[in-house]
Structure 1
């Protein structure tokens, strides 16, 4: 590691170099500057975003050393950065005459073609040169080619390029990182499995290959196999954060919540706390009906990300499952305040108010929900349900009529209309609505029974349900 004295010496040395170059530029006495010195000077101005000074320094260097391909490439790169593509191409042709096997020449030439929107030329150049070069140079050209295909939105060819890199150099970390994403994006999980199995057979301690194998299995919903692959990745590197994340997700997918919790806890031991990890822990405890522990982790999550209204909603959901409606309302109101457009929060709030028979509060929120989401069948049917439970049968029919005009007739409306009619003593009309509803969606009859259990006391209702069941 560089100590402070070394850094200070290099800083002073660079300052002296810049001063010598400025003396040269201004026609004053100066020390001799070699090719390496010009390279450092160009890089200095480039790092300072003083591109015109960097180009000028490159030109001075090329005057001194006209056959130095490195300085020519530096100037070409700067010309590309400043979008002087034709000038850059002219410089690169000079380099090609000097050193046609310099890989940087071909990479920069491809960049010029891309800058000029000549993607086919860039692809042809890189494909041709990738066949001419070996070793790391071929790898670099194929990775550059993958980026060009990405730019052209030829995504399967991106995957193909990365596959070629790994067949050529199985341990290339850049390709291993990238192909994980492109496997999922292109849906080529089976091909990825074959590729990474071949890599692992030859190089069994390649942690990224094990990880990619796991993600490919996970993409095919083969969660047990994915978990096995992640465990091998962790055996190679027990601080592999993303392997723990994905493995926990796989455990959750197959409802192995204790194993998921253990994996997430291990992740917390090796990495900085994150809201998504705490939320996942809360989810696991919630699924096990351990609501206190679930809330503990959801709270830890929102302390890290207080603007994520979903976390307040998730805490509210645990209270709702415990039928602790007042506590649920408190958190739902916070979620709703952060995101007033969420229909989910409105419906949950209304359910809490309905369960407490606070119909006025429920109706206030539902009417606002209808205003914001006029095409939502859920909010309109919930409004009718609330009016029914509050005993406002006539207003319920008015809102049903509006709902049908806004969203079309739905079986749920027919069942709710039946309940309104039966409850207000209009049995014949109610049975007519029930007949229509049973014809359209017989399995939804529970919507009527849940809303109005007393409907089962009507012989006509029982007979009608039985007749439709017999006909089916």
Structure 2
């Protein structure tokens, strides 16, 4: 590889600096060399080395404004905002028209959630700027501050200004579309992208964004055409192939979708998303062996992707192979013990297999993890009733009733359980509530408590309620 003269000079400076650190010799560097060395370390996340370079740089060049600005950058990274502000005030006194001082001031304010004040500082920097490129960078920073404030209309203005300075600023382009999306302005986004493409007809990023907008509007033909243009503009653009595959799935063109997904596998290392989508497509085509093959490849590629484990588990559940389904969902639970979707499937599959204790444990974990659906409370209750754990079932329902105070399904079960526990007054109270809410659901008593419903006292409550 050939280096430019400047790159070669920077490499020599780095080698010289790191050699100095190893030998403890003190060598001289001019301030520009120190700036390049510090910038290199910051860009590569080597904060400790950057701090050493700043310290040595300021020892040799104590009046350097730029080196002190780097020191401020480090102070901000370390959340030492008071120290950073003191140094900024000193620098502002020395150079009141230095735009970089206002940029760093904005950085400090932003880190302290003072976004309005950060914008004011950046606008001051913009007034002092003499470079169109710097203007573009400042527009982007102002746009980001407006995003922090959820002021998407204002953010949109400044990200558009970025593109006026540099049409190839794809970060700004993504942010423009992000603002349109958040404002739910699909048509405005489409109009903007079409206008942008008039001047940049081979911009694969813009075609990709345009396809996404049409996909959101369910205009799959236009979405497909836009992704085709993205691929024409860059035939290695993996995102476009993936999005084209999603469109083809919506159009039920599963073989073509598979072709697009497989192209991405050839372009780079397989992604779990592409493998999963291929599995779904083969399942739709009835190619079950291939579907399972790709679902397995998905979880091998990314064991932390819950969609992969859920896909293969649901596949076997759908085909009533509950033992296989249980095998995979157990693997999933072992990998991520706090995934509520896994535990819900685990409980349902164990229930299908009549493994009641395991199913009850699954539903309890589901509840512990915050899934408070009525069905989950009811399923756990019914299992506890089958297991003869009536007091546990009552306690479970008393928790559920806090979330569903007007549920006839809860009230009938509480009524039956209290009669079972010989707490007849409570039983009558909850049975009356249940009948008031929905008298047609009294079959719940018959199914769960066949011995209770034939009691004279219970029949009287039911008959008197239905008469009134």
CA distance in 2, matches of 1:149, 1:324: 53
Of the three residues 56, 59, 65, the one matched with 1:56 is: 59
- Cα distance in structure 1, aligned partners of 2:220 and 2:292: 27
| Matches of 1:119 and 1:396, distance apart in 2 | 57
Change (3 A) 1:278 1:80: closer
Q: Match of 2:65?
A: 72
The answer to whether structure 1 residue 179 and structure 2 residue 176 are counterparts is yes
* 2:123 maps to 1:127: yes
The TM-score with structure 1 as length reference comes to 0.68
* Offset from partner CA, 1:245-292 (integer Å, 9 cap, x none): 233334445554333322211211212212222122222323444332
Task: Specify the alignment match of 2:163 in structure 1.
Answer: 166
Residues 1:294 and 2:291 aligned together: yes
Structure 1 partner of 2:85: 85
Q: CA RMSD in A?
A: 4.6
Q: Is it true that 1:112 corresponds to 2:115 in the alignment? A: no
Distance 2:195 2:379 in 1: 56
Question: What SS does structure 2 have at the residue aligned with 1:373?
Answer: helix
| CA distances 1:284-319 after superposition (whole Å, capped 9, x unpaired) | 323444332221111111112234455333212111
For residues 447-462 of structure 1, the aligned pairs below 5 Å read none
Task: Select 1:362's aligned residue among 356, 379, 393.
Answer: 356
TM-score, normalised by the number of residues in structure 2: 0.69
For residues 76 and 349 of structure 1, the distance between their equivalents in structure 2, rounded to whole angstroms, comes to 56
Offset at residue 218 of structure 1 (A): 3.4
* Contact 1:183 1:216 (8 Å CA) reproduced: no
Q: Deviations over 1:170-216 (max 9, x none)?
A: 33223124334444344443332222111112221122221222233
Matched residue count: 403
| Alignment of structure 1 residues 441-452 onto 2, 5 Å | none
Secondary structure, aligned partner of 1:329: helix
CA drift of 1:329 comes to 2.1
Contact map agreement 2:246 2:257 (CA 8 A) in 1: yes
Q: Does 1:314 align with 2:317?
A: no
> Which structure has the greater CA radius of gyration?
1
CA contact (8 A) 2:146 2:152 kept: yes
Q: Distance in 2 between matches of 1:41 and 1:348?
A: 59
Shift of 1:139: 1.4
Q: CA deviation at 1:40?
A: 0.7
Could you say if the C-alpha distance between residues 19 and 336 of structure 1 is closer, same or farther in structure 2, counting changes exceeding 3 Å?
A: closer
Residue 278 of structure 1 corresponds to 275
Instruction: String of CA shifts for 1:401-452, please: whole Å, max 9, x gaps.
Output: 66643323635568999999xxxxxxxxxxxx9xx7898498x99x98xx99
Choose the corresponding residue for 1:39, options 32, 35, 48.
32
Does residue 207 of structure 1 match 2:204?
Answer: yes
Q: Distance in 1 between matches of 2:394 and 2:95?
A: 79
Distance 2:105 2:201 in 1: 40
| Partner Cα distance (2:18, 2:392) in 1 | 80
Native 8 Å contact 1:80 1:88 kept in 2: no
Q: Is the 8 A contact 1:41 1:57 kept in 2?
A: no
Taking the aligned partners of 1:160 and 1:276, their CA distance within structure 2 comes to 34
Q: Quickly say closer, same or farther: Cα 1:331–1:114, change in 2 above 3 A.
A: closer
| Partners of 2:121 and 2:89 in 1: CA distance | 14
CA distance in structure 2 between the aligned counterparts of 1:335 and 1:17, rounded to whole angstroms: 50
Q: Tell me if structure 2 keeps the 8 A contact 1:143–1:175.
A: yes
Structure 1 414/197 Cα, relative in aligned 2: closer, same or farther at 3 Å? same
Is 1:336 aligned to 2:327, yes or no?
no
